[in-house]
Structure 1
Amino acid sequence: MRASRIENSKEIHISGAEGIYEFYELEKFLKKFFKRAIEHPKGLPDKIVFTLEKIKEEIQPVEALSVKTVFCESSEEAQKVINEHLINLGISEKAITVAWSVIKGQKMRGATLIDYLTAERLEPDKERGVRVSRIQMDKKRRMQVLKKIKNLSSEPQRVIEAVTIASKVAFCPEVVAEICVSDNPDYTTGYIASKEHGYLRITNIKKQGENTGGRAFFVKTPLDIEKLIKFLEKTPVVVL
């Protein structure tokens, strides 16, 4: 599902959702996705698009990242914690600066791909970015994650979806780390994710009411960009 609105002759992304489901589950989840689109804090969309695809390929298993919450009292503290983690992973300060500039200053539907050393942006479409798609979390793993964060988050479904995305991204050998800030004005918990540190929820990653946000994937080069994007966007995975 993708919901959007036209502002100043430009299509603005409002909300999105997806999953891999059995045929008998489709009606239930289509209703959930519709409700999610029309009740979004950004307001009613002008357009809601539902796309259903039959998956014919084998669904690839991906190991779920461990989940931990890092409590920060301010966005300044959160950014400092994030930067320290990323630097410890060998990511250059220049690359980190570029990532923050995209997240805070550019509206993108997907993620930017940034060379973790040179800071060069590598995504072919600088407006669309790269979308992580064809994903689902195993029901058993979902219950384990919910149990771990039930007292820490008022919106556990967001966490489930984010861990699912982050686990698929971290599975790629070319990816060093990911940083994500929601563009929802009422959701101020973001995350950084990597194979080494797992999925780290970061509270107060931005101030309440801010509608900026985005994703950045730090990658190693040289790499086959087309192959990486094809995996992230097209290969169906289940997170176990």
Structure 2
Amino acid sequence: MGQSRLYSVRMRASEKESHENGGSHISGGELLSTYSELRMSVDTLLEKALNHSRGKPDFLQIQCEIVNQPIKLLNPLTVQTNVVNAVEEGQELARYLLEKTGVHKGIIEKTYKEIPEYPVRGAILIDIHTGERVDQRIDKGVRVSRMDWQTKNFEKWATSKSVPTNPRLKEALTLATKVCNHQSTIAELCWSDDPDYIMGYVASKNIGYHRITQLKDYDDERGCRIFFVDTLTDINTYMSYLEEQPILVQWEEEEDHDTRVD
């Protein structure tokens, strides 16, 4: 994918009403596309919106916007898969991994108690010093945007690491790589709002991307995306990076020092 004339293609779909009018979120996604691939990119996101486990959308929006900023190339985070036998085991492991990233145990427990209060569409930013939410986006949260990973390069990486070449992993690892690249990010905790997908992850620059096979029960539509952040840096600049800085994940075998996937 060339660096000239790239477009950010974004999709969101909801039930009953638009998100702004209180509609229930169904699906979202985005790609970076060349002009010649715009139709294919739109079709890819349209297919995702119309065939989602959360239902059929009553509101669907696809937006294309040219990218004028320089695009940053990032190596993917290292990946490890952690197999657990129950949700409780998975959540215990997630807490342990968050501690390894440098988040204090008290902040982790405070955050977990307040997760039910955060039914938002985007990410929640939690101050690692106080445990308080600092994004001030109420029910919207922060939506990480303008990112992609070329499919051929992703599939080459996945084959070399013996992990699934599925779009869900590609999207999640691309997002985590962008988020954890910023110095303000200490860690990310995430599990999907899809009722048929129970896997989630903890990610940071120092421990990499840890997939956990169970972080919720089947048929549970409650998701979670929390960024633990160091507020000693400017939060507005940080949110601008998450929402506006275009990045491409690019794996180069000779530069990769990935850990073995279990």
Shorter-chain TM-score: what band?
Answer: over 0.9
Query: What SS does structure 2 have at the residue aligned with 1:110?
Result: coil
1:235 and 2:251 are equivalent in the alignment: no
Letter in 1 for 2:79: V
Alignment match, 1:137: 149
Structure 2 CA distance for partners of 1:2 and 1:112, relative to 1, 3 Å: same
Offset from partner CA, 1:92-126 (integer Å, 9 cap, x none): 23322343345445321110000113101101212
Offset from partner CA, 1:13-49 (integer Å, 9 cap, x none): 1101101011111111211211111111111111100
Offset from partner CA, 1:54-100 (integer Å, 9 cap, x none): 11111111221011111011110001111011112221233223433
Question: Aligned partners of 2:186, 2:177: CA distance in 1, in Å?
Answer: 12
Q: Under a length normalisation based on structure 2, what TM-score does the superposition of the two structures give? A: 0.85
Structure 2 CA distance for partners of 1:148 and 1:211, relative to 1, 3 Å: farther
Kindly indicate whether the alpha-carbon contact (under 8 Å) linking 1:146 and 1:156 is maintained by their aligned counterparts in 2.
no
Structure 2 CA distance for partners of 1:172 and 1:3, relative to 1, 3 Å: same
**TM-fit CA distance, 1:215:** 0.3
Alignment match, 1:62: 74
Q: Which range moved further: 95-104 or 11-20?
A: 95-104
Query: What SS does structure 1 have at the residue aligned with 2:32?
Result: coil
Alignment match, 2:102: 90
Query: What SS does structure 2 have at the residue aligned with 1:30?
Result: helix
The answer for unaligned runs of 5 or more in structure 2 is 1-10, 251-262
Structure 2 CA distance for partners of 1:6 and 1:100, relative to 1, 3 Å: farther
Kindly indicate whether the alpha-carbon contact (under 8 Å) linking 1:174 and 1:219 is maintained by their aligned counterparts in 2.
yes
Alignment match, 1:176: 186
Alignment match, 1:100: 112
Alignment match, 1:188: 198
1:211 and 2:226 are equivalent in the alignment: no
Kindly indicate whether the alpha-carbon contact (under 8 Å) linking 2:184 and 2:229 is maintained by their aligned counterparts in 1.
yes
Question: Aligned partners of 1:13, 1:79: CA distance in 2, in Å?
Answer: 24
Letter in 2 for 1:147: T
Alignment match, 2:255: none
Percent identity of paired positions between Structure 1 and Structure 2: 35
Query: What SS does structure 2 have at the residue aligned with 1:18?
Result: strand
Structure 2 CA distance for partners of 1:19 and 1:211, relative to 1, 3 Å: same
Offset from partner CA, 1:106-158 (integer Å, 9 cap, x none): 321110000113101101212111111000114454123432566x55x7110
Q: Under a length normalisation based on structure 1, what TM-score does the superposition of the two structures give? A: 0.92
Alignment match, 2:83: 71
Structure 2 CA distance for partners of 1:148 and 1:76, relative to 1, 3 Å: farther
Question: Aligned partners of 2:160, 2:217: CA distance in 1, in Å?
Answer: 25
Structure 2 CA distance for partners of 1:91 and 1:97, relative to 1, 3 Å: same
Give runs of aligned pairs for residues 13-162 of structure 1, distance below 5 A.
13-101=25-113, 103-139=115-151, 141-147=153-159, 153=164, 156-162=166-172
Q: Which range moved further: 190-199 or 136-145?
A: 136-145
1:201 and 2:205 are equivalent in the alignment: no
Aligned residues: 237
What is the alpha-carbon root mean square deviation over aligned residues?
1.8
**TM-fit CA distance, 1:52:** 0.2
Kindly indicate whether the alpha-carbon contact (under 8 Å) linking 2:100 and 2:207 is maintained by their aligned counterparts in 1.
no
The answer for unaligned runs of 5 or more in structure 1 is none
Structure 2 CA distance for partners of 1:94 and 1:141, relative to 1, 3 Å: farther
Kindly indicate whether the alpha-carbon contact (under 8 Å) linking 2:101 and 2:207 is maintained by their aligned counterparts in 1.
no
Q: Which range moved further: 114-123 or 228-237?
A: 114-123
Structure 2 CA distance for partners of 1:196 and 1:148, relative to 1, 3 Å: same
